[in-house]
Amino acid sequence: MSKVYLLGAGPGDPGLLTLRARDILARADVVVYDYLANKAFLDFCRPDAEILYVGKKGGDHTLPQDKINDLLVEKAKAGKMVARLKGGDPYVFGRGGEEAEELVAAGCPFEVVPGVTSAVAAPAYAGIPITHRSFCSSVSFITGHEDPTKSESSLNWEAFAASGSTLVFFMGVKNLPHITENLMRAGMDGATPAALVRWGTTCHHKSLVATVATISEEAARQGFAPPSLFVVGGVVSLHDTLSWYEKRPLLGKGVVVTRSREQASDLVRLLAEEGACCYEFPTIEIAPLADADPVREAIGRLYNYDWVVFTSVNGVKCFFDEVATMELDARVFAGIRLAAIGPATAAELARHGLRADFVPERFVAESVVEGLLALGVAKGRVLIPRARQARELLPEKLTEAGADVTVLPVYDTRSVDQDPDEIIEAIKAGTIHYLTFASSSTVKNFFARISPEIVKAAGTVKTACIGPITAATLAEYGFTPDVTAAAYTVPALAEAIIADAKGKS
């Protein structure tokens, strides 16, 4: 249906995007967006959606406002469902009202989906409630972008200074001396608590607390720059007591995740919850087989096997893709015992209604062999669905013990031709703190694109890996892992990185 939705993207934390906004992004034909604090919002868009950047950032407009208005009208009249995605809330210094007026004048239906405004969220993440019974009962949102060269200010500084309200200035860093001078000239006590919150709610979040009289000098000393909010009032004194977000151990730490895009989400989520800035740099991808007939043939004669041993989540998923293609279900495993190399693989089996009969205590092939032999597998027939290219230790050891082993490739892993420039620049700039590796293939493919010497020259990048096999591959490139997971799982890897950041490794 032809309609324009003015969506608030919130201040940057993807978790603060509303469910309504996410639903509309997932259905929209066209997405028109400004500069966003987090481009992760665009991941919710349809793969075939038309994505148009109109770039509004600190006065640098890729497309002037009148042209943006024309674009929205044009797309709506072409019968498109249009999502106009704006940082924060569309109606809080977002010019959403102007766009809505243009749509009404053109006869285009529209809806507004409010977003979480940074004026509320950024101070909250910094431990500053913008209202509090002990300090104030009102709050004012003010543009800090007023031209300081104007002969007369359009703002009522006397009213602000005398109100006792919390004052929240948007876009105020550039004109901070002008703002503080006007407040004090209007009668505000220079000792009034004041704070700057930069990149509020994002992994780059940072705050600075001072007073109205001293904050300009302190901001210059600490290099505070846009985008920052300026907050004034007694509530700022609660910062040290109520601060919570800035206590996250990985806040501001850059972490490169090299797992395939299909597998990266769990590690990214665990790290981001502790404040990390995650750089997804998949070095491998999971690809379906060009010919799946051998898999379907194996499914058709599963009754021939005593054990099926799954060595990865991907193996389970790809195997069951073919089970579903054959219009079958978990009942094909009737009478067959199942092994999973780790808890994540066992959990994936459980999602298909199957419980693994064996999960080793240590999640490597050596432990799987030991455990299966203890269960008498040496006298049985074993099917191992796995990647086409994988370690041969498991099938070799089981065969040596007397088992009748069939290795069944169910997917391919391929290197990803990903542009490394962003990662290289971030490493050189000192904003990457950890490289994570979950397998030998991720190590090899990462260093095929980024020279080990670049990482070594930076001197600030730590390597984190799962398991001794991955560690041994790192050693081939001259690295001893700085962080090693206690267990061979993604949660354990995340825990190890967090412990290292806390200085508890």
Mention every residue, 6+ apart, whose C-beta is less than 8 A from residue 212: 180, 183, 184, 188, 189, 190, 191, 192, 194, 232
Strands 50-53 and 56-57: unpaired
Dihedral sign of CA atoms 24, 30, 33, 38 in order: positive
Rounded alpha-carbon distances, angstroms, from residue 425 to 35, 251, 261, 433, 477: 21, 20, 21, 13, 20
Active-site pick, 34, 80, 397, 462: 34
* Catalytic status, residue 462: no
Rounded to 5°, angle at Cα 492 from 487 and 498: 140
For residue 104, report the phi and psi dihedrals to the nearest 5 degrees: -65, -45
Task: State whether residue 473 is helix, strand or coil.
Answer: helix
Q: How far apart (Å, rounded) are the C-alpha atoms in residues 495 and 505? A: 10
Task: State whether residue 287 is helix, strand or coil.
Answer: strand
Pull the structure tokens for residue 278.
Answer: 């995650």
Rounded alpha-carbon distances, angstroms, from residue 394 to 337, 472, 490: 17, 18, 21
Pull the structure tokens for residue 459.
Answer: 């001197």
Judge residue 249's burial from the number of C-beta atoms within 10 Å of its C-beta, 0-12 exposed, 13-18 middle, 19 or more buried.
middle
* Catalytic status, residue 56: yes
Q: How far apart (Å, rounded) are the C-alpha atoms in residues 469 and 53? A: 44
Judge residue 414's burial from the number of C-beta atoms within 10 Å of its C-beta, 0-12 exposed, 13-18 middle, 19 or more buried.
middle
To which H or E segment does residue 481 belong? Answer: none
Q: How far apart (Å, rounded) are the C-alpha atoms in residues 56 and 68? A: 10
Judge residue 457's burial from the number of C-beta atoms within 10 Å of its C-beta, 0-12 exposed, 13-18 middle, 19 or more buried.
exposed
Active-site pick, 75, 80, 89, 171: 171
* Catalytic status, residue 75: no
- Chain CA centroid to CA 455, Å: 23
Pull the structure tokens for residue 342.
Answer: 């780790």
Active-site pick, 13, 56, 80, 81: 56
Kindly list the catalytic residues.
Answer: 34, 56, 171
